[in-house]
């Protein structure tokens, strides 16, 4: 099946006599970006691998990458070149709120969030690859309607990777006393701006002996490094459900 490419971008049409070889390679790379062989935000293979893949020299690969870089289809940072084709906008899925289960602004609801530098729950430490009793940034969220109904409580623990890569989160370490209000609603935007592609897996399980459900959100980046885990308890009546989605890094 032929690939469709924007008019001003390299295409695979034409022979090597009509277009330089690097232009053909650039066109084939565009096709792989478009059909998500290389997902948005993912790091591209190295020049040596690309040269072997397309059967060309590394210099030809460099020229092809420069064409795509000029067109804004890839970007380069200290971790290498990354695909930058956009997916769904960050604002689209309602499930992207931080923390999972956070309510939209409601003047009649009690909404409280704090951060502390402390040892996370044991299962959080395991999921994040933290040594036993090693402290990290822990975010606590609590929300309920004015009459006390609809209670939601969420505990989020961040990994060492998240704190090292995301400057905005790292700043909270020195003021994480566990008592001051600290809304981190822009956490996922901060992660994306740090060049991270966010892979989410949310597990929703109905708790026994009541209408509540437990939601466990695990987030890792494009290198399979854990970033955060959130444990939410909310009053609801849904059966168990698991779903996944990916949020590309910001351009």
pLDDT in tens, 134-193: 999 999 998 887 776 778 889 999 999 999 999 889 988 888 887 777 778 889 888 888
Query: 151 or 109, which is more confident?
Result: 151
Burial group, residue 219, by CB count within 10 angstroms (0-12, 13-18, 19+):
buried
Find the farthest-apart pair of alpha carbons in the chain and give their distance in angstroms, rounded: 75
- Which pTM value belongs to this model? 0.58
pLDDT at 16 > cutoff 70? no
Of 6-10, 103-107, 111-115, 153-157, give the lowest mean pLDDT range: 6-10
What is the pLDDT, as a whole number, of residue 239?
43
Give the tokens for residue 123. 């299962």
Distance CA(71)–CA(31), nearest Å, equals: 14
Model confidence at 12: pLDDT above 60: no
Lowest mean pLDDT among 29-43, 78-92, 188-202: 78-92
What is the pLDDT, as a whole number, of residue 250? 57
Q: For position 1, what pLDDT does the model report?
A: 36
Name the β-bridge partners of 246. Answer: 199
- Which range scores top for mean pLDDT: 32-36, 127-131, 167-171, 205-209? 127-131
Contact 184/115 with Cβ under 8 angstroms?
yes
Report the pLDDT averaged over residues 18-33. Answer: 78
Distance separating alpha carbons of residues 90 and 247, to the nearest angstrom = 7
pLDDT digits (tens, 9 = 90+) for 198-250: 888 888 887 777 678 888 999 998 888 999 999 998 876 444 444 455 556 65
Arithmetic mean of pLDDT, 13-28: 68
Per DSSP (E only), the strands in the chain are: 74-77, 80-83, 109-118, 136-145, 152-158, 177-181, 198-206, 212-220, 226-235, 241-247
Judge if the upstream peptide bond of residue 91 is cis by omega within 30 degrees of 0. no
């Amino acid at each position: 099946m032929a690939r469709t490419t924007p008019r001003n971008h390299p295409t695979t049409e034409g022979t090597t006599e009509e277009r330089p070889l690097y232009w053909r390679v650039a066109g084939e790379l565009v096709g792989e970006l478009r059909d998500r062989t290389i997902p948005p935000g993912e790091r591209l293979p190295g020049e040596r691998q690309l040269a072997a893949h397309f059967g060309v020299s590394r210099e030809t690969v460099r020229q092809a990458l420069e064409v795509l870089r000029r067109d804004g289809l890839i970007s380069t940072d200290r971790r290498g070149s990354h695909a930058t084709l956009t997916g769904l906008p960050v604002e689209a899925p309602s499930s992207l709120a931080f923390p999972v289960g956070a309510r939209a602004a409601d003047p009649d609801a009690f909404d409280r969030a704090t951060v502390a530098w402390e040892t996370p729950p044991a299962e959080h430490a395991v999921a994040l690859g933290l040594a036993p009793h090693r402290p990290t940034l822990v975010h606590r969220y609590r929300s309920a309607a004015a009459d006390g109904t609809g209670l939601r409580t969420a505990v989020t623990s961040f990994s060492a990777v998240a704190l090292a890569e995301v400057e905005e989160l790292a700043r909270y370490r020195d003021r994480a006393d566990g008592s001051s209000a600290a809304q981190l609603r822009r956490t996922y935007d901060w992660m994306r701006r740090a060049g991270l592609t966010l892979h989410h897996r949310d597990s929703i399980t109905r708790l026994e002996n009541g209408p509540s459900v437990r939601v466990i959100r695990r987030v890792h980046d494009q290198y399979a490094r854990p970033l955060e885990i959130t444990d939410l308890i909310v009053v609801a009546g849904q059966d168990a459900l698991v779903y996944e989605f990916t949020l590309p890094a910001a351009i």
